[in-house]
């Protein structure tokens, strides 16, 4: 009987560990959210999102505060990005969103610049100021063809 009880304990531990690791893989690594965020949901519209993709990071001053939840085209055929930000984050209404790259060729992420207004953005609102991704191809092209840096569009 003692050995059966021991065996059951080991089986229980094994199952708990397996389920725990499946949970870790799904929630932490796979980014599945069981709570329907409940965080701050904001929109940002860009002319060019470059290599930004769902699950890309959103950062303020390099600190991760959320992620890109979805990307689609709006009625004016501009890229509309849905940001899922941490609960309790307080962003002034004149905050800006910019697409940046970590390193020269690294992952792209959205950098938020908090503004100075008293009034705060609430869920469902949109960033008033956005800055598109720097397109390295265009940049190189403009240098090669002698249009000069920063010129063009």
Residues lying near another protein in the complex (CB under 8 A): 7-8, 10-11, 14-15, 17-19, 21-22, 24-26, 28-32, 55-57, 106-107
Shortest distance in whole angstroms from residue 66 CB to another protein: 13
Q: Are 64 and 114 in contact (CB under 8 A)?
A: no
Residue 22 or 122 with smaller CB distance to another protein: 22
Residues 131 and 83: their CA atoms lie apart, in Å, by 15
Residue 26 or 123 with smaller CB distance to another protein: 26
Shortest distance in whole angstroms from residue 147 CB to another protein: 29
Query: Which tokens go with 11?
Result: 């089986």
Q: DSSP class of residue 35?
A: S
Shortest distance in whole angstroms from residue 42 CB to another protein: 20
Q: φ and ψ at 44, to 5 degrees?
A: -140, 135
């Amino acid at each position: 009987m003692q050995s059966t009880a021991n065996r059951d304990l080991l089986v229980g531990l094994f199952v708990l560990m397996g389920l725990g690791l499946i949970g870790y893989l799904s929630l932490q690594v796979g980014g599945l959210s069981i709570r329907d965020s409940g965080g701050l949901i904001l929109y940002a519209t860009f002319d060019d999102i470059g290599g930004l993709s769902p699950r890309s990071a959103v950062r303020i001053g390099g600190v991760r505060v959320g992620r890109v939840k979805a990307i689609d085209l709006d009625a004016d055929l501009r890229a509309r990005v849905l940001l899922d930000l941490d609960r309790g984050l307080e962003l002034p209404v004149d905050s800006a969103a910019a697409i940046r790259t970590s390193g020269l060729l690294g992952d792209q992420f959205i950098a938020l610049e908090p503004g100075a207004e008293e009034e705060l953005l609430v869920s469902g609102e949109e960033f008033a100021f956005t800055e598109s991704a720097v397109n390295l191809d265009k940049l190189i092209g403009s240098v090669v063809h002698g249009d000069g840096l920063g010129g063009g569009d």
